[in-house]
Chain A
Amino acid sequence: MKDAITLKMSLPKIPDIELVAIEGLDRLARHLGIASDKIGEANILITEAIINALEHSGGEHPEVKVEFTMTKQDLVILVRDFGKGFDPSTVADPAERKKAGGGKNNRGWGLKLMKTMSDDFSISSGDDGTRITIKKILS
């Protein structure tokens, strides 16, 4: 990828650690001359991907690996946890759950938001954890 810059980080499970990633993205964007209003949706995608990963990460020292590859045109976000994994196909659409009268639980929007707000989304999950890849066009 021409003129791409990459930022890699390993985030421990501590409150609001996703803001470190948001700060990193902001600095990459400024370096590339990308206006902050162009990365608003990317900020939400990153936040959701990281809190989702931290929720599913396991073990004594849960951590999440995050990698951004950014050009002036687009951003690729890779988020990986090392938890037990889950079957994404069994995660109910929260909008459908609510329509069906699925109680007062209004949580569980992360996957829906990532799929809807991204330009490309993939998830693979197994016994060794979950890997989410998101592409967001910036220009």
Chain B
Amino acid sequence: MEQQFTLTSEVRNDCLILVTSGYVNNVGGEQIAQEFSRHFEAGTRKVVVNLAQSKVVNSIGMSFLIDIVDQLNDAGGKLVFTDLDPAVEKMLTIMGLFQFAGKEKSVDDALASLA
């Protein structure tokens, strides 16, 4: 079970696409937040987070994503999650993330919803 956290990012159609792999804990959450901040300060307001390769997450790591959703919501932006494991999706639902963030099956679907 490979759980080493890695994060990759790209910008497509003015959207920041963040792709995680491995365990999203406090360290992983902070890395996501730092990468987001770099793009947010440059004006990016649409974000896609692909969690396909993160089957294990914790609430501290996810709290960084709540912070990001709050910031985007305040700035008129939006975040969409994709490729969620059912258990992670349930966790994010309990944490209220889908009140302001979206969810789609794939990155392409997310990009279409943000267009």
* Interface residues in chain A, defined as those with a beta carbon under 8 Å from any beta carbon in chain B: 15-16, 18-19, 22-23, 26, 37, 40-41, 43-44, 47-48, 51, 94-95, 98, 104, 106-107, 109-110, 112-113, 116-117
Contacts of A26 in B (CB 8 A): 1
Q: How far is it, in angstroms, between the C-alpha of A105 and the C-alpha of B13 when the chains are bound?
A: 32
Q: Does B66 contact A (CB under 8 A)?
A: yes
Q: How many residues of B contact A (CB 8 A)?
A: 26
Contacts of A18 in B (CB 8 A): 58
Interface of B is mostly: helix
| 8 Å CB contact of B94 from A47, A98, A117 | A117
Contacts of A107 in B (CB 8 A): 59-60, 63
| 8 Å CB contact of B86 from A16, A40, A51, A98 | A40
Within 8 A of A (CB), among B79-99: 85-88, 90-91, 94-96
Contacts of A94 in B (CB 8 A): 95
| 8 Å CB contact of A112 from B58, B64, B90, B94 | B94
Contacts of A22 in B (CB 8 A): 1, 3, 56
CB distance from A104 to the nearest CB of B (A): 7
Q: How far is it, in angstroms, between the C-alpha of A106 and the C-alpha of B95 when the chains are bound?
A: 9
Q: How far is it, in angstroms, between the C-alpha of A104 and the C-alpha of B66 when the chains are bound?
A: 10
Contacts of B62 in A (CB 8 A): 109
Q: How far is it, in angstroms, between the C-alpha of A32 and the C-alpha of B91 when the chains are bound?
A: 26
Contacts of B104 in A (CB 8 A): none
Q: Does B55 contact A (CB under 8 A)?
A: yes
With A16-B25, A109-B95 known as contacts, the answer to whether A41 contacts B59 (CB < 8 A) is no
Interface of A is mostly: helix
Asked if B59 contacts A16 (CB within 8 A), the reply is no
CB distance from A84 to the nearest CB of B (A): 21
Q: How far is it, in angstroms, between the C-alpha of A51 and the C-alpha of B56 when the chains are bound?
A: 13
Q: How far is it, in angstroms, between the C-alpha of A16 and the C-alpha of B85 when the chains are bound?
A: 20
Q: Does B67 contact A (CB under 8 A)?
A: yes
Asked if B85 contacts A104 (CB within 8 A), the reply is no
Asked if A117 contacts B3 (CB within 8 A), the reply is no
Asked if B60 contacts A117 (CB within 8 A), the reply is no
